[in-house]
Each structure stands twice: as C-alpha cells, then as structure tokens.
Structure 1
C-alpha cells in the first residue's frame, strides 16, 4: 500500500502542539522565562490546573514538562502524558465515564511503562483499583508518578467534568501528582472538588503588559519562519522587537493565531506596515469570524449563544475602535448574565482576560479584557495600521471602553436560554465539512474525503468511532494519513 500523505503546507502540525511529533517538538516550540517557571511548577509535587483559552499554550507546556521530566528527572519521576480526546468520555457520565476514563488511563500508563522497560500496568475500569495500582507501581519503581491530562475540559460539555475532577482528586496522592489543562469557563468542579484547596490553578494567557512579552513571538519567528525574520530586519519601518510586540498583541498573545498570521505573511515579498495591515484584516475576516462558525457545533446546548456572541463582539470592537482603545472593561452585572458568551469569545481568541476586578468610572466594578487588534483594525476608520496607531495600541495608557448592562445596544441583544444537555452537533456533521477552508484551515484533501466516504465513513462521528484497522484498510491510506485524519477529526471536535 502506498501512503500518500497530505501536502506538508497544510500547517495543522504547526498549529497544534499535541499533534507535533515528539522528536520535532523542540524545533517548533520556544518558552519565555515565566513559562519555564510554570513548567517547574508542573513538575513539582501537588495537583495543578492550567487554565487558558484555545491556542494559549496549555498542551505545549504539558508536553514540554513531560519531555523535561523524562530527560532530567528519569531516576525520580515517571511522567505520563494522557490526551483525553476520546469520544466515549464526551458521551458518558457517572459509572460509565469512570470505567472509560480508568481504562484509557490504565492503557496509557501501561504504554509508558513498557516504553521505558519498567514493567506493565493492569488494565482496570475501577478508580479504586486504579489508585492501588498507581501507588503500588510508585513504591516498586521508587519514583513519583506524574499524570499530565491534556484536553480534560470540553467547552460544550460541563457535566462530565464533575466526574473527571472527582477522579482527579481521588488519585492525587503524595506519590501520584495530577496535572490537567482546562479552559477559562470551567465552573462545574463537582461537590467533592474544591478548586481553591484541591489544586493550584495557573492562568497562562500571555500578557502584553509584561516586559518580555514580545520575546516569545520573536523566537518563534526565528525558529519557524526565518524568512519572515529576514524581511523584518531589512524593513525600513519595522524591527523584530516592534514586530513581535504588535503581532503578539494583535492576537492577544495566542501562539496558534500568531502561527496562522505568519503563514499569511510568508506570501509577501516584504514585511512592513502595509503587509501587517493586510495580514490583520485577513485574520479578522477569514480566521477569527469563521472561528465562531467552527465553534458553534461543538457547544451542545450552548450553540444557541453563538449569534448573540457575534453581536456582543461587534459591539465591543466597534466601540473600542471609535475610542481608539484596545481594552474593554465589562461591568460585573454583564459578566454574570452573559458569562458563557464571554467564555465563547475568549475561547475563540476575540478577547483575553487581563484583570478580574477594576473600579469603573461610572461606579461599580468590572473585568478588563484585551481585545484582538485584527477585529479592532477592521472596525477602525481607514482600516490602516500605521506606526503611530501601532504605538497607540501597544504603548497607550488610555482608559478602556466601559460596557455596562444599561448600554442600549447591549440591552437589545436577545440572549436565548440554553436547551437541555445534548450530543454535540459536530458529531452529526458530514466528513466533507473538514475540507480545507477558512473554517478548517487544517482540513483534509478532497481525495481523502472521497476515500473515507467510499468506505462508508460519512460523518465525523463514524470516523471518530472507527478502529484504526478499519481506516487502514482503505486503499491509499497508510499510517501517515491515519494520523492526519485522526488529528483533523480531533481538532474538529475539541479545538
């Protein structure tokens, strides 16, 4: 069988750390000083929750921690990286969730033990037996076991999270350290899990107000896009420092969005403010707004909140653009009534929380959000990025735009109530929607879609539930294509 992999220019690999081959991980990833400090906190004793939006670097930090433990602490720590991108975990609760989770975790621990030639691990579906086996192996190996749970939370399903955190708390001991990545809106931790006492929560959004904010973006440009770095150095209007600052700020510190921006900039013969203008407008129209369409079918009962989320985003960006400020201060009453809408906007990269509480000029307190400059530029008069505007947005000290619930435009937005808990609509979508497009820039080729459909795998659910052997039986689909298909389907469901 010939395995004709999809073209390498489809940059799904570069956009998602969890799909990057471990041997290439160091080549594609860099970490700032404060991120290195987070990695040390992950390696240390005690349960940790990494909280951040889509593309904020949660997976990269967990994987780097895993690799560092294997490299520098092999004699005292046995790390296990576990991706929880498993469809049964999305579709089960209670005892069924526990059985699925324990089986998946047992298999991953067993795989890691066999990989380092340290024995085997019993496959179990019971959390009590799982804890006993983990403790027994930790004593036998004389090593602390560190479990790194990636994608523990799904934005559209909160109920199973209570089951996850119950297990998370149960298996966290002095010999077993649990770490997990979650998104900003997780609230249903369960009755047994006290988020303030049972784990250390680390918010990992990259804050443009920090002195070394631009360094990570400069380093990523040098590593992954050296031709862009050369064009910036030779530019008359830009240098690498100003490039890293404005582009990092443009995507509110989100590395996945930054990499996507660099894919656009590679097409230009030069990189200056005219090219940055085109890039930011392209991101706004063909990346950020389409993300809401991508997110919608993953939200389950919250899917009805996508249209009002779009309206709220338009309101915030238009008012910030009118005042020339890149921050919005949202009154806490608005946050209480529209918390899921702001969670959706933060997840999709439209906004990023900077302060949990700040006094408002007109009274009361609110939450400060940084808004992405791509959508802001789209609604700015003239729609042209200049050095003066870039300085205003990255160095200005103007007060943020304040949004209260009494705002007439906001009060006219209809906010429907979420329906009952339901299966994610994305599972019912045809596999053909995963064709490369603005909504799915990492999508599959027409050839692979036709081959999957010809084998009877016509929906995203059918592909997600198919065994590897079933997909590998398809003509012209080998292991490289299998991984690519799995990656794209998982991104469609979880990202």
Structure 2
C-alpha cells in the first residue's frame, strides 16, 4: 500500500480492519469501556477525530464477546437524515424509529437469537414474524429517504412505533432469548444543521433508556441542539473525543496510526521523524487530517511536507469552513466573521508578538468571556465543528477573576502562514502551555457589528439546497483517490448519481458482489452525506 491509499474514513474499513488498525491509548480504552457499559453516552468530537472508529471498535469487541456477555451491539448511522428536509417533523421521528427497530431485529437475527418464526417484535406490525416486521420497516425508512427525489410524499410515513413499544420489544427479546441487554450505537445522530431533528433525536434517546437498552450517540461540537427535554447532566454522560497534543505519548500513538495501515512506512517515518512529527502536531489530534496530509506529502520529505502544510492549513481548511456559508445561508455571517476573526486578527497577533518579543509568543489558546455576544460564541462553535478550534475547558477563570471558555487553535493554522511551517511547528511544540491564553472580554472591540446579530433566527433561514448540489463532481467528496476512481469507472461521477444508485447498480461492475457492493455503497453514501451536511 502506498500512502496514496491510506484509509482516512472509518466507512472505508471492515470491522476486521478496524480491529487491526486500532492504536489504543488509555483514554481510548476508557471511552470504549463506557460505550460498552449500561450508561447513556454522548460522544462529541470534530470531523475525523475518531468518533465512528471508537463506535466500531466497541461494536467489534461486543460482537466477539457476545457468547459470554450476551450484550447485543447494534450499530446504526443516521447520515442520511439530511435528505428528510421537510416541513413535517414527524417524518424524521418515524424514519428514526423504523431504522432503529429494523437494525435491532437484523442484528438479533444475525446473532442467531431470533429464529425464523420468532414473534418477539411481531406486535410492532400488523401480524407476521420478525422478518416481515423488519422488511416493512426497511421499506418505510428507505421510502422516506427517497421522497426528496420527486418532491412527493412517501407512500407510507407513519411507522406506528413509539419509544415505549421499542423498549417493551427489547425487554421481551432479552427475556425470551437470553440476551442480557442491547447497546445501540448511533453514528451521525441527526443532521447537524437541522436543530429540530436533533431535538427529536435526543428526546427519543432519553425515552429509550431502560435496564435492557442503552443508547450511545456520536455528535459534532458546536452544532448540536439537545432541546429542552434532554439535560446532559441528568440524561447522559458527555465524552469529548480529542487526542491531547500535550500528552507525552501523543506523537508515538499518531505514528502508530499510520504504520498500522501500512507497515512499510515505518522506515520512511523514522527516517524523516521531525517532518512526520510536524505533520502529526499540526493535525492537532485529528487522525483523519494526519492521514490526508501524509498521503498528500508522499513521498514523505521536508519539501513535500512544507508544500502540503501551506496548501492545507493556509487554504483548504479555511475554504472548507467558508463553504458552510454557501450551503447554510442563515449561518453565513457568523461563519465569515469567525474566519476573519482568526485569520486577520488572532493569528497575525500571535505572529507579530512572536517576531517582536524577546519572549517568543507560543500561545495557541484563546479565552472568551462567558458574557460575550451569542453570535460570537456561535461563530466559535462553528469553528469547532470544522476542527479549526477545539474547546479546551469551560467555566475557566481568567486574569481578572471572570469566567469564560478556553479554545485551542488548530496548530497547523497557527504555523501554516510561516515561511517554514515544518520548523515553525516543531519549534512551537516545545513550549506550549495550557495556562497561557489570549483573552477577549465580554465587549471586545473586534466583535463589532456581529454582536447585534439575532442568533435565534439563523436557523429559520435555511436553504433547501440538496437538488442544487446534485451535479457536483465526485471529486469534491472527501474520500480516497482509489474509491473516487472506482465510482467514476462505474459511471457514478456526481453527487446525484451516487444518491440515486443502489447496491444492485454497483453489482453491475466486474468482480463486485453483494458484500463489496454494500461496502462501496456505505463509503460513497457517507462521503456524499458529509459533503451535504457541510
């Protein structure tokens, strides 16, 4: 495998691959054990930090331990929730419940605890065995997903389900089959820019909780709306997925993440250790960013790393953030302000102090007063979603005895503007202190006109953009060059063609059977849905 074939999306991997590539840290182990526990968990982290990967590791371990533990792991992704942009909020609720129930039945059958004529879930449909129920529910949720194609209402929109019915069915499953409990692992929990979907999901998440069923959900920071009925302190445990760049084991674990995928790279990585360390540190704990920049810097050497760091951290990461404003018009003002605030004010301020001070400024943390305008905090939350900022503690007391939130600036964006970003990154990592911050008070002059923006109305101005994106090229999707090439060979060269494709369409290609087509569909759909969600 060359570095051009490094896999940077969990959707590209089988469960066996996940197990093989997993580089365990103490924090990862604690997280996985909690995911396997009876607790209700919200797993929060920016794109690419490893939320899906950790869910899959937990699933694999519970699968392997099932004969002894009798804990049934059920993985379900909500990445297609964005297709349900509708004025009828109940559609999403029924889509969600149908998908959850269908996946529980399918997983129980796969483990052999539901037999052909079992009737544990038959009460959820008008008669029939569990297979009939699962098929009916799958037809329903697929129909709801496909309704966007014709702008027509789905043939069926009501699942006939509610959380209590699912809880009762799961309890019956456990009582009648010897299953101890069910752990529901929900990835991409509702569309990030449709708050109403998120509020519905978290209400259902709370309502599904029982001694026999626990829910773990992966969400993004900054763009998650929990609603009034879900209280994090009472209804779930929040786990932030962020690799600590100040951890003494950080660089070695990031090195192993690359080498596990391609052992032949170990010699090259060791030979160019300082160059690799700069890429790993610039990635700020994000494995996907490291794998993408490593792939682009192939063959690894100083010149290629310099080029990639300039391209990625000066341009690409910022343009991806700005693109959110093109898709979600209501958020454009705060998205543009956040980029300007960091690029034109904060980062130049750090570089200027670094050049002019006898004590070089190695700060990468900023602190925002808790009473800063809501629009300012919204802009910073969206920067966290894009991975440009990372929340590093709330309720922290600053120099004047007032409290606020600390954020860490992505290291690559801090050093990318330098003439020699590799050297600048390695210089910076020698003396970063979490105690040193740039502080911005409640009424800082840089907030300007954004301070008066009505954040509450932003989500009312949401553009229906799916159809406008259908002709976008597959080249704009975040996937490996190999996967993109295969899609092109099959004729699926646009967003619309991929969305409209079926597994049967993929099977028209040579050497592509049921298993490979399912994997191809998962990879392509995940990339499309991430593109559509920003």
Q: Give TM-score, length-normalised by structure 2.
A: 0.78
- Rounded Cα–Cα distance in structure 1 between residues aligned with 2:186 and 2:9: 16
Gaps of 5+ in 2: 116-129, 138-158, 354-360
Q: Is contact 1:50–1:58 with CA below 8 Å preserved after alignment?
A: yes
Match of 1:4 in 2: none
Shift of 1:341: 1.1
Instruction: Tell me which residue corresponds to 1:82.
Output: 76
Against the structure 1 CA distance between its residues 8 and 340, is the aligned structure 2 distance closer, same or farther, given a 3 Å change threshold? farther
Q: Does 1:377 align with 2:372?
A: no
Distance in 1, Cα, partners of 2:266 & 2:420:
25
1:108 to 88, 103, 106: 103
Number of aligned positions between the proteins: 472
1:157–1:299 CA contact under 8 A, matched in 2: no
**Residue matched to 2:432:** 396
Query: Match of 1:26?
Result: 19
Change (3 A) 1:286 1:10: farther
The 10-residue stretch of structure 1 (408-417 or 428-437) with the greater mean CA deviation from structure 2: 408-417
- CA deviation map 1:84-137 (0-9, x unaligned): 112477425643222111111122112212222221644462123222211111
User: Which residue does the alignment assign to 1:171?
Assistant: 208
1:288-437 to 2 correspondences below 5 Å: 288-297=317-326, 299=328, 301-314=330-343, 315-323=345-353, 324=361, 325-334=363-372, 336-362=374-400, 364-380=402-418, 382-386=419-423, 390-397=426-433, 399-411=436-448, 417=454, 418-421=457-460, 425-437=464-476
Deviation at 1:473, TM superposition (A): 8.7
Does the 8 Å CA contact 2:101/2:166 hold for their aligned counterparts? yes
Quote how far apart the aligned CAs of 1:152 are: 0.4
TM-score by length of 1: 0.84
Judge which range, 61-70 or 307-316, deviates more.
Answer: 307-316
CA distance in 1, matches of 2:486, 2:108: 40
1:146 paired to 2:173: no
| CA distance in 1 between partners of 2:206 and 2:290 (Å) | 35
Q: Check conservation: 1:471, 1:482, Cα contact below 8 A.
A: no
Indicate the residue corresponding to 1:283 in structure 2.
Answer: 312
Q: Say whether 1:451 aligns with 2:491.
A: yes
CA shift, 1:329, in A, is 2.0
SS in 1 for 2:285: coil
Please show how residues 467-478 of structure 1 align to structure 2 within 5 Å: 468=502, 471-472=505-506
Q: Name the SS of the counterpart of 1:395 in structure 2.
A: coil
* 1:91 lines up with 2:120 in the alignment: no
Which residue of the other structure, out of 214, 227, 251, is the alignment partner of 2:283?
A: 251
| Separation in 2, partners of 1:80, 1:409 | 48
* TM-superposition CA deviations, 1:415-453 (whole Å, max 9, x none): 754545366555133444233259877684597399358
Deviation sequence 1:187-220 (CA, Å, 0-9, x none): 5323332211111111121122333222320211
- Answer with 214-223 or 412-421: which moved more: 412-421
1:211 is aligned to 248
In structure 2, the CA distance between the partners of 1:404 and 1:428, relative to structure 1 (3 Å rule), is farther
Judging changes above 3 Å, is the alpha-carbon distance between structure 1 residues 437 and 192 closer, same or farther for their aligned structure 2 residues?
closer
What is the aligned partner in structure 1 of residue 60 from structure 2?
67
Shift of 1:459: 5.8
Please report how far the alpha carbon of residue 82 of structure 1 lies from its aligned counterpart in structure 2 after TM superposition.
0.6
